[in-house]
Amino acid sequence: MEGIGIIKKPEKNIVKFIDNANQTHSPPRDSQHQLEHLKKLILDLNEKESELE
């Protein structure tokens, strides 16, 4: 896709950020669950995007 050349794979940084946040700050269980769900959605989306290329 055009226009995404600045940050090629931002999802890796987001996933790393989520993992670090969960380990470092020990958020409440429901927040942790939401972050894990977000991470899964990002990874699923990334996988589907790879299939399209």
Q: 51 or 3: whose pLDDT is higher?
A: 51
The count of structural domains within the chain is 1
Within-domain flag for 31: yes
Within-domain flag for 5: no
What is the reported pLDDT for 1? Answer: 44
Within-domain flag for 15: yes
What is the reported pLDDT for 23? Answer: 76
Q: What confidence tens digit (pLDDT) does each residue in 16-39 have? A: 887 787 777 776 778 888 888 888
Helix-then-strand count for the chain, H and E: 2, 0
Within-domain flag for 47: yes
CB of 35 within 8 A of CB of 7?
no
Write the single-letter amino acid at 35. L
Domain that holds residue 32: 10-52
Query: Residue 50 pLDDT more than 60?
Result: yes
